[in-house]
Amino acid sequence: MNNHWAMLGQTTSQPVEAPPPSVWTFLFSRKKLIGWGFATLFLLTTALLYLLPQSYVAEANLLVERNRSPIMRADYSPGLEMAEVMNTARGIASSRTVLAAVVDHLKLTERPRHTSFFGRLRENVNKGLVAVGLLPEVGPRDEWIQALTLWVTIKPIVNSNILTISMSLDDPRLAAEIVNEISSQYIKAHLAIYSTRGLADFYRERMTTAEAEYKSARQEVLDFKAKASLFAISASREEYTRELGTLRTQLLTTSNDLNRLLQRYDERHSEVTVIKDVMANVQTRVDETETKLKKLEQNEAALADMEMLLETKRKTYLDYVNKYGEASVNEQADSDVVNVRLVEKASVPPQPWMPRLFLIFGAGIASLFLAVAVAFLRGYFDGRPNSPDQVERALGIPVVGWLELLPKNSVRALRTVRRT
């Protein structure tokens, strides 16, 4: 309601354009609205700060080494990106598996819950919404898991290998317990994910099978060498080559002798017959030696294939031996040898994350800004005149007098006169 009253002059004149109102003019003209708005908002926020329980922040720090093996920190693992490692650690720590293990180990569902007035109000509202089917019914365990998902903050410190796990809660002791349990369960989950439980038995079976195959192949090679007389291949080849050369020389000499005899005698002569028999014997020996040499080359090629297969089986066996050794070591790994280390456990916070005095001071500043904003909006959307200048600009006639506020009796009397 606009209670401003103006007395207009009887003569018209050209109104003088008033300068645009300043910020201070606006604040002064709306001082009552701003004052009442500030006082109301400040009292409400202050009362709310006293009604709401104070929040305590518990924090733990973990070291996640980037260039170390996840299961055996003594092993160097280059090429891992820092962001990838930290985001993986953050995802594991905030997973439902870890949070569910925290709820189960601390038995949070069995603990009595000390809720504030607003907490009880929220629970009653949720129960009502569940009763009418607007919200799904959630069990105590899932409710705790969902709450931890919202309350727990896991983030890495910039340009470092430190992962911070923090939680804000009105119970400082419970907040510290939950943060420490999340750290412990995260390390256990990290170990379970990267460990090789049961893999050592698999590699041991494969190693035993590969060893048997290797020994069998090696025995086959030895038997083949003994059967084919291949223990001295180079010496046998040289012997056959030398014998073949000697026989071919004899065959050539005998052939020359036969040609000379055929020039003197006919083919039925005794000397010609003898030399032909000698040539036949030498040719037979040449054929036999060539056959032996070819057989030796075939056996040598077969032996090379068998030895290559034997070497493959030997490497397979050694590979399984190494993998079995690594799996056996990793199977014995525990939380003390992984690349995640607990740097600082969460201690019970001795005081709230921010004193109530600072919160009240901030509430006062916010209330003042909000009151000014409300006054500005009201002035922006209120088109009624609230100053002599606005009346002169609207009517084009001078204002003789202006009363800021009339008593209620006078206002009532003027309204009665105006109606009549």
* Residues 14 and 79 occupy one common structural domain: no
pLDDT in tens, 45-66: 888 877 777 888 999 998 887 7
* Residues 210 and 295 occupy one common structural domain: yes
Distance in angstroms (rounded) separating the CA atoms of residues 405 and 402: 9
Band of residue 10 on the pLDDT scale cut at 50, 70, 90: very low
Sheet holding 162-169, edge to edge: 152-156, 162-169, 56-64, 340-344
Look up the domain containing 296 and give its range: 200-331
**Percent of the chain scoring above 70 in pLDDT:** 72
Distance in angstroms (rounded) separating the CA atoms of residues 398 and 389: 9
* Residues 317 and 220 occupy one common structural domain: yes
Amino acid at 376: F
Per the structure, how many domains does the chain have? Answer: 3
pLDDT at 172 over 80: yes
* Residues 59 and 185 occupy one common structural domain: yes
Amino acid at 391: V
Distance in angstroms (rounded) separating the CA atoms of residues 170 and 165: 17
Specify the 3-state DSSP secondary structure of 318.
helix
* Residues 392 and 324 occupy one common structural domain: no
Cβ–Cβ < 8 Å for 396, 15: yes
Band of residue 413 on the pLDDT scale cut at 50, 70, 90: low
pLDDT at 275 over 70: yes
* Residues 114 and 171 occupy one common structural domain: yes
Could you tell me which residue, 326 or 173, shows the higher pLDDT? 173
**pLDDT, position 303:** 78
* Residues 166 and 223 occupy one common structural domain: no
**What CA–CA distances, in Å, run from 154 to 45, 88, 181?**
30, 12, 14
pLDDT at 205 over 70: yes
Residue 349 domain-assigned (yes or no): no
DSSP 174-196: HHHHHHHHHHHHHHHHHHHHH--
* Residues 209 and 178 occupy one common structural domain: no
Cβ–Cβ < 8 Å for 278, 306: no
**pLDDT, position 222:** 82
**pLDDT, position 15:** 45
Band of residue 270 on the pLDDT scale cut at 50, 70, 90: confident
pLDDT at 371 over 90: no
* Residues 186 and 69 occupy one common structural domain: yes
* Residues 325 and 293 occupy one common structural domain: yes
* Residues 34 and 139 occupy one common structural domain: no
Which of 173-187, 206-220, 250-264, 350-364 comes out lowest in average pLDDT?
Answer: 250-264
pLDDT in tens, 321-354: 887 776 676 665 545 556 788 888 888 888 887 7
Amino acid at 367: S
Q: Among residues 344, 375, 392, which one ends one of the domains? A: 344
Cβ–Cβ < 8 Å for 332, 200: no
Q: Give the chain's mean pLDDT.
A: 76
Which of 116-130, 154-168, 221-235 comes out lowest in average pLDDT?
Answer: 221-235
The angle at the Cα of 328, spanning 324 to 333, to the nearest 5 degrees, equals: 145
Rounded to the nearest angstrom, the gap between the alpha carbon of residue 39 and the centroid of all alpha carbons in its chain is: 49
Residue 245 domain-assigned (yes or no): yes
Task: Quote the tokens at residue 66.
Answer: 């980037």
* Residues 339 and 376 occupy one common structural domain: no
Q: Among residues 323, 344, 365, which one ends one of the domains? A: 344
